[in-house]
Chain A
């Protein structure tokens, strides 16, 4: 469903992603772990098409389509979703208004106002959010936890085929983390894939990955099952650097 081959990307002339390969099949959840500065967030933004990053090589196929030439909204309509690490504030636009517009943008047929209202209510219950939340302005004055919940709420509303989660766990307390994980597990099934990008293995206790990859200096240097995450927890990223650092440099 997602096939990344030898992907290279840079920002302001500096190469951050340096020939990355990854294949995600339908229904799989992949975790990408790595220390700060390894290029994880850049990868997430490049996959969704952030205009500030320049792709200098390689390809990204999603459901057989080359997405690198597509605008972010076109990627969203194909079923890609990015849960942002730092979602932007949009003053004056309520969460409900935003959800309505977004859902109707990606759907082929618009929902009736009543269907939309019910859907928002339902998904907010899953995320244990106060209904009043829907009337607040998008991300304005939200706490870190509220922003992340709001990201997952959007994911539940849009029902993507592939979700990329950019450090969604960072800055969350354990309760919020569980709610976020619940949201992801809600969608889990044969038609839903996810790439969970994280610094810590903590979230992987609640969202169990099928595959774990370690990212270092712009590449995936090793991969394994969920036990790899536990190894990393024990040995730390210094171990990764010693073990794979020279390979990454070469």
Chain B
């Protein structure tokens, strides 16, 4: 196994978190690639109930039978046979920080996750490799009946709930990558918020991929029961390797009547990662679901958080920001389906492209017949930092109902000479001026994030932009 302990001093505009710890594992699938044996081994190792094994095997069939999508980004270099599908870093999950092994703590330290976060922020479920290694939950939440644990524990401890909802929002055969995830999923979060319970402090999970060639297939299911509120937040970063890495998550959200779920993500994958994620939510009567989604890094990201507005008065919001640097393609957007009257939605998408980077907005707005008085607004803004950068917009709109109000607005802007000159005439260097324009551009998204995440988002974008001028 690699023994490179040094923090790689990478050049400008390269991934800054590209170090990795020596890999020490209790379990690793014996070989790369995927087949029924591997899937059965994963399930057996986790002591899963029979139905989950069946579910996985059926999903595998679906995965193998589906062709790799040819729309969106270029997946031709993605080789499913070159990936490890399951690694487990520790025998048991640490319930307290002291139980977490030192090298894992080191990694967190290098990522700069503040120690204070553990104390001020209540639930920290940090995913290292395929399992959550550190997990804590404030006592009052336990008392209130809130469940926040990794998905594997969720399956063990709340099998009935999991069995009832797992895969109901995103069926295994929804698409090739949801099928893959359903076959080999590991880790992720399971959250249940009982009726009427409001969790004011966000639940946080910090994800990280470490092992070379390892796919990460986390699976998250959040159920907000009637009239409850939860904000789940997740930030990701991954180290740099020379061979391609795959991240393919499935996230399902269920907002029961009058409930509200906000799901915030900042993803910063290393530049060779394929980030192919399926995220979907259903919102019942007067429920609200909000996706706040920041996409940095990766070689290719394909991600379109969706909200299905199933009950009258439901509301969906999707805010996304993507940064595509040299050689990167961010194919992101959002999907809203209005299936009930008086529903409303807002999609705000912001993308920044630099160098040979390419950003794509791909969105679907669908209004079913009978969804009268639905309101929807789609706004996508692209910012190009130089001449070579590219942006495309594919807004699909299908309206079957006449009594609706939909708006769509798309803008493309370049960081202008005049704008830079103006800022520089006040003493800002060209890089500082560029960073200021970019930070202003993403401000509408950043202000929706908790402060420390907003700062992290700005900092990450600045790191990515270093050396981008001149």
What would 5 more interface pairs be, CB under 8 Å, given A73-B426, A73-B428, A88-B422?
A: A48-B425, A49-B424, A73-B430, A76-B425, A92-B442
Within 8 A of A (CB), among B182-214: none
What are 7 A-B residue pairs whose CB atoms fall within 8 Å in the complex? A73-B424, A73-B425, A73-B426, A90-B423, A91-B440, A92-B441, A105-B429
Set of chain B residues within 8 Å of A51, measured between Cβ atoms: 417, 421
Say whether A162 faces chain B, with CB atoms less than 8 Å apart. no
**Residue positions of A touching B, CB distance < 8 A:** 48-52, 71-73, 75-77, 81-82, 84, 87-93, 98, 101-102, 105-106, 137-138, 154, 158
Set of chain B residues within 8 Å of A49, measured between Cβ atoms: 421, 424-425
> Does A90 contact B419, Cβ atoms closer than 8 Å?
yes
> Does B424 contact A71, Cβ atoms closer than 8 Å?
yes
**Could you tell me the distance between the alpha carbons of A91 and B428 in the complex, rounded to whole angstroms?**
17
Set of chain B residues within 8 Å of A75, measured between Cβ atoms: 425
Interface size on B, as a range, is 20 to 34
Set of chain A residues within 8 Å of B169, measured between Cβ atoms: none
**Could you tell me the distance between the alpha carbons of A106 and B442 in the complex, rounded to whole angstroms?**
26
Pick the contact of A102 from B416, B418, B427, B430 — CB < 8 Å?
Answer: B427
> Does B416 contact A88, Cβ atoms closer than 8 Å?
yes
Known A-B contacts A88-B418, A88-B419, A101-B432; the reply to A158 vs B427 at CB < 8 A is yes
Mostly, the B contact residues are helix
**Could you tell me the distance between the alpha carbons of A73 and B433 in the complex, rounded to whole angstroms?**
10
Known A-B contacts A87-B422, A92-B442; the reply to A105 vs B417 at CB < 8 A is no
Within 8 A of A (CB), among B437-468: 437, 439-444
Pick the contact of A137 from B428, B430, B440 — CB < 8 Å?
Answer: B440
Pick the contact of A98 from B424, B436, B443, B444 — CB < 8 Å?
Answer: B436
> Does B429 contact A73, Cβ atoms closer than 8 Å?
yes
Set of chain A residues within 8 Å of B444, measured between Cβ atoms: 92
**Chain A CB within 10 Å — which of B417, B436, B442 has the most?**
B436
Set of chain B residues within 8 Å of A72, measured between Cβ atoms: 421, 424-425
Set of chain B residues within 8 Å of A102, measured between Cβ atoms: 426-428
- Shortest CB-to-CB span from A49 to chain B, Å, is 8
- Shortest CB-to-CB span from B23 to chain A, Å, is 42
**Could you tell me the distance between the alpha carbons of A88 and B440 in the complex, rounded to whole angstroms?**
13
Known A-B contacts A51-B417, A71-B430, A88-B418; the reply to A93 vs B440 at CB < 8 A is yes
Known A-B contacts A51-B417, A52-B417; the reply to A92 vs B439 at CB < 8 A is yes
**Could you tell me the distance between the alpha carbons of A82 and B422 in the complex, rounded to whole angstroms?**
9
Pick the contact of B428 from A82, A84, A89, A105 — CB < 8 Å?
Answer: A105
**Could you tell me the distance between the alpha carbons of A77 and B423 in the complex, rounded to whole angstroms?**
13
Set of chain A residues within 8 Å of B426, measured between Cβ atoms: 73, 76, 98, 102, 105-106, 154, 158
**Could you tell me the distance between the alpha carbons of A90 and B423 in the complex, rounded to whole angstroms?**
9
**Could you tell me the distance between the alpha carbons of A102 and B423 in the complex, rounded to whole angstroms?**
8
Q: Looking across the interface, which residue of chain A has its beta carbon closest to that of B445? A: A92
> Does B443 contact A92, Cβ atoms closer than 8 Å?
yes
- Shortest CB-to-CB span from A9 to chain B, Å, is 15
- Shortest CB-to-CB span from B236 to chain A, Å, is 24
Set of chain A residues within 8 Å of B428, measured between Cβ atoms: 73, 101-102, 105
**Could you tell me the distance between the alpha carbons of A71 and B437 in the complex, rounded to whole angstroms?**
18
> Does A106 contact B440, Cβ atoms closer than 8 Å?
no
**Could you tell me the distance between the alpha carbons of A77 and B439 in the complex, rounded to whole angstroms?**
23
> Does B436 contact A50, Cβ atoms closer than 8 Å?
no
> Does A50 contact B427, Cβ atoms closer than 8 Å?
no
**Could you tell me the distance between the alpha carbons of A77 and B424 in the complex, rounded to whole angstroms?**
10
Set of chain B residues within 8 Å of A73, measured between Cβ atoms: 424-430, 433
Set of chain A residues within 8 Å of B418, measured between Cβ atoms: 88
Set of chain A residues within 8 Å of B443, measured between Cβ atoms: 91-93
- Shortest CB-to-CB span from A107 to chain B, Å, is 9
Known A-B contacts A91-B441, A92-B439, A137-B440; the reply to A106 vs B427 at CB < 8 A is yes
**Could you tell me the distance between the alpha carbons of A136 and B10 in the complex, rounded to whole angstroms?**
38
- Shortest CB-to-CB span from A85 to chain B, Å, is 11
**Could you tell me the distance between the alpha carbons of A50 and B432 in the complex, rounded to whole angstroms?**
17
Q: Looking across the interface, which residue of chain A has its beta carbon closest to that of B437? A: A90
**Could you tell me the distance between the alpha carbons of A71 and B428 in the complex, rounded to whole angstroms?**
10
- Shortest CB-to-CB span from A124 to chain B, Å, is 17
- Shortest CB-to-CB span from B468 to chain A, Å, is 17
**Could you tell me the distance between the alpha carbons of A138 and B439 in the complex, rounded to whole angstroms?**
13
**Could you tell me the distance between the alpha carbons of A84 and B441 in the complex, rounded to whole angstroms?**
22
**Chain B CB within 10 Å — which of A72, A91, A93, A138 has the most?**
A72
**Could you tell me the distance between the alpha carbons of A244 and B441 in the complex, rounded to whole angstroms?**
49
- Shortest CB-to-CB span from A72 to chain B, Å, is 4
**Could you tell me the distance between the alpha carbons of A138 and B422 in the complex, rounded to whole angstroms?**
11
Top 10 closest A-B pairs, CB basis? A92-B440, A92-B443, A105-B427, A93-B440, A102-B426, A72-B424, A106-B427, A76-B427, A88-B422, A88-B419
**Could you tell me the distance between the alpha carbons of A88 and B423 in the complex, rounded to whole angstroms?**
9
Pick the contact of A90 from B417, B427, B430, B436 — CB < 8 Å?
Answer: B436
Pick the contact of A82 from B425, B429, B436, B440 — CB < 8 Å?
Answer: B425
- Shortest CB-to-CB span from A102 to chain B, Å, is 4
**Could you tell me the distance between the alpha carbons of A89 and B436 in the complex, rounded to whole angstroms?**
12
> Does A101 contact B425, Cβ atoms closer than 8 Å?
no
**Could you tell me the distance between the alpha carbons of A220 and B424 in the complex, rounded to whole angstroms?**
28
- Shortest CB-to-CB span from B83 to chain A, Å, is 39
- Shortest CB-to-CB span from A94 to chain B, Å, is 9
- Shortest CB-to-CB span from B442 to chain A, Å, is 7
- Shortest CB-to-CB span from A73 to chain B, Å, is 5
Set of chain B residues within 8 Å of A81, measured between Cβ atoms: 425
Q: Looking across the interface, which residue of chain A has its beta carbon closest to that of B421? A: A50
> Does A105 contact B425, Cβ atoms closer than 8 Å?
no
**Could you tell me the distance between the alpha carbons of A84 and B428 in the complex, rounded to whole angstroms?**
16
**Could you tell me the distance between the alpha carbons of A154 and B423 in the complex, rounded to whole angstroms?**
11
> Does A84 contact B422, Cβ atoms closer than 8 Å?
yes
- Shortest CB-to-CB span from B434 to chain A, Å, is 11
- Shortest CB-to-CB span from A189 to chain B, Å, is 22
Set of chain A residues within 8 Å of B442, measured between Cβ atoms: 92
**Could you tell me the distance between the alpha carbons of A4 and B462 in the complex, rounded to whole angstroms?**
39
Set of chain B residues within 8 Å of A84, measured between Cβ atoms: 422, 425
**Could you tell me the distance between the alpha carbons of A84 and B419 in the complex, rounded to whole angstroms?**
12
- Shortest CB-to-CB span from B226 to chain A, Å, is 37
**Chain A CB within 10 Å — which of B418, B425, B432 has the most?**
B425
**Could you tell me the distance between the alpha carbons of A138 and B423 in the complex, rounded to whole angstroms?**
11
- Shortest CB-to-CB span from B50 to chain A, Å, is 53
Set of chain A residues within 8 Å of B419, measured between Cβ atoms: 88-90
